[in-house]
Structure 1
Amino acid sequence: MTRNAKVTSGASGTDGRPLAAKVRNLAPTMTRSMQRVAEAVARDPAGCAQLTVTALAQRTGTSEATVVRTARILGYPGYRDLRLALAAFAARQAAGAPPAVTADIAVDDPLADVVAKLARDEQETLADTAAGLDVGQLEAAVAALAAARRVDVYGIGASALVGQDLAQKLLRIGVIAHAHNDPHLAVTNAVQLRQGDVALAITHSGNTVDVIEPLRVAFDHGATTVAITGRPDGAVARYADHVLTTSRSRESELRPAAMASRTSQLLVVDCLFIGIAQRTYERAAPALSASYEALAHRHTARGARP
């Protein structure tokens, strides 16, 4: 059902809790046998660190090839690298080190260290997204959005916030855009889309049904479709003419995918916005000025005395 070819990408992690979060996030993309390996590693990282690839395959009732493939999906070059990471975690536990809140932040880290570590992680996420972004796909999406009669944006949860940000930006430069986070209203609106319209879906996992369904409807009705996703091999890509891939950032219990993905999604949204503003500058500049003036007038009027 795809109209165009798609792109692909990957990620990493080292601690017990982030590993458990990653397993939950990636489980829908794994086969059942791979899920058994991933769940065993997440449940008992210290114990699995002691096992050879053959022993782990026997414990989970799978094959050595499945174990290696699972390690790669979890972000490691091979099983040896995953095993080393698990051994490091076991050593940390044995030494009585404080538990980790994220992959590299301990529960007793000073707040200044938390700020520095999160800032570094955000920088890495942005750099990874920029490096992995297909500029050809981005240019095609910008061209479609700049020429669109109407733009519908679909997102759920944290992705809905990113969708609202994009819709607001587009409205301020004269592009008719609406963000939908209610799946029923999203489908109802998607039915109205036609050739010349654009539907854009935002889903970190690439498999969010409430986002994929309206995109499918828009696709079937002839609209140009765009997906912003961390999994270009996910189900959403089946109905996307253009796929914009974001970095699959490290997740943890306190910094889940909903938080980690937002940074890379916002970078893509800003790239789209600037690209569209460049293409439509003669229309965008006056529209942006008018919106600034209207907001300034509103603030002045509210502050004025009767």
Structure 2
Amino acid sequence: MSAQHAPSQTPAEPPTDLRERIRAARPTLSPAERQVADWVLRQPGTVLSLPVAAIAREAGVSQPTVIRFCRSMGCHGLSDFKLRLAQGNVVPEAVRGASATRVATPSGTRVLQNTIDALTALQDRFDPLTLDAAVALVDAAHRIDLYGFGSSGVVAADAQMKFFRYGIPANAYSDPYLVSMSLNVLQAGDVVIAISKSGELPELQTAVERVRELGVHVIAVTAPGSPLAALADVVLPAGVDDAVADRSMVARLLHLALLDALVLEVALRKGSTTLPNHQLPE
């Protein structure tokens, strides 16, 4: 008599309801993400109407933790998480392969969603007092130099153009040799705006260290807690979660937004005649 073969076991598919997926994934989450999971399961309706800052506050975690939790659940960000929570389903992990990529969120949409999430987080943690401190330094400076290498050089050139538009002289340098030459003309009381996604570029750190020795003020547009941030008088923080695949693109847009705010506030303080009438201070 031939031996009976046990029926083959098919792996159980992940639950399609997002709340069930959260319950199933809970033991594998980090302690901070577990706090978010527990709060969402207790308040599934409330989370749909709250911004990332409020969710982080209610769950007792940081805003990046909320975004990481959403991605752990197979979503592209908070907005995608809310949509799937409202719909009561999520794309199962088992079908998140190359063949399913076309059915899931397209790459272009993902870039836009990651940018929206990052800009929302930036707005939620934005500190007007920090911007005021940066504006005061730029307003009092005789010379404004912007340092940025690679893609940050494009951001520096854009800021130079914006300053020029409002009649404020500024100089953008994206070449280390030209940066070293600018050090020969900088004087105490001038300002350098250093731009970097990671804040860890050795060439930029060396230049900023030399700038500080000259008594020149430094405004860093970079990731908070980075080596560059530690060298600056004022930091305009533009951190992007490491889990974001298109991190460089998102960081560049955050840098552009922060520098636009800085340029406009400096122009307002100086009473630039090129500002539209409705923007002129009363």
- What TM-score bracket applies, with the shorter chain setting the length? 0.5 to 0.7
Q: Does 1:97 align with 2:89?
A: no
Bigger Rg, which one = 2
Asked if 1:246 is matched to 2:233, the reply is no
Give the SS at the match of 1:131.
helix
- Cα distance, 1:132 vs structure 2: 2.0
- Tell me if structure 2 keeps the 8 A contact 1:154–1:202: yes
Q: Distance in 2 between matches of 1:132 and 1:227?
A: 17
Report the CA distance shift for 1:258/1:50 in structure 2 as closer, same or farther (over 3 A): closer
Matched, 1:160 2:147: no
Cα shift readout 1:157-176 (whole Å, capped 9, x = no counterpart): 11111111111111222222
After TM superposition, the structure 1 = structure 2 runs for residues 101-116 of structure 1, keeping only pairs within 5 Å, are 107-109=101-103, 113-116=106-109
Cα separation, 1, equivalents of 2:243 and 2:177: 30
* SS in structure 1 of the partner of residue 225 of structure 2: coil
User: Are the counterparts in 2 of residues 132 and 247 from structure 1 also a CA contact under 8 Å?
Assistant: no
Matched, 1:190 2:183: yes
Instruction: Specify which of 161, 165, 173 is matched with residue 166 of structure 2.
Output: 173
Which position in structure 1 is the counterpart of 2:270? 280
Question: Counterpart of 1:266?
Answer: 256
Q: Distance in 1 between matches of 2:231 and 2:171?
A: 19
* Letter paired with 1:98: G
The normalised TM-score by structure 2 is 0.62
Q: Determine the C-alpha separation between the residues in 2 that align with 1:217 and 1:197.
A: 13
1:62-101 equivalent positions in 2, closer than 5 A: 76=65, 85=72, 95-99=94-98
The one of 216, 221, 236 aligned to 1:223: 216
1:203 matched to 2:196? The reply is: yes
**Alignment partners' CA distance in 2, 1:273 and 1:169:** 7
CA shift digits 1:23-44 (9 cap, x unpaired): xxxxxxxxxxxxxxxxxxxxxx
Q: Percent identity?
A: 26
Q: Is the 2:149–2:174 contact (alpha carbons within 8 Å) kept by the matching residues of 1? A: yes
CA contact (8 A) 1:193 1:222 kept: no
Deviations 1:99-121 (A, max 9, x none): 49xxxxx631478x555443332
Determine which of 225, 237, 243 is the counterpart of 2:229: 237
SS at match of 2:186: coil
- Assess if the C-alpha contact under 8 Å between 1:98 and 1:108 holds in 2: no
Residue 114 to residue 181, structure 1, CA distance change in 2 (3 Å): same
C-alpha distance in 1 between matches for 2:207 and 2:243? 28
Q: Which runs of 5+ in 2 are unaligned?
A: 1-26, 32-60, 76-90, 277-282
Deviation string for 1:210-255 (max 9, x for gaps)?
A: 222222211110111100012x2111123211111014146555x2
Give the root-mean-square deviation of aligned CA atoms.
3.6
Tell which has more relative contact order, 1 or 2 (C-alpha 8 A, sep 6+): 1
TM-score, structure 1 length as denominator?
0.57
Find out whether 1:133 has 2:132 as its counterpart. Answer: no
- Relative to structure 1, the CA distance from residue 165 to residue 134 in structure 2 (aligned partners, 3 Å threshold; closer, same or farther) is same
Q: CA deviation at 1:92?
A: 5.1
Q: Deviations over 1:250-282 (max 9, x none)?
A: 6555x2x22121111111011101101111124
What code does the residue aligned with 1:108 have? R
Distance in 2 (alpha carbons) for counterparts of 1:283 and 1:134: 27
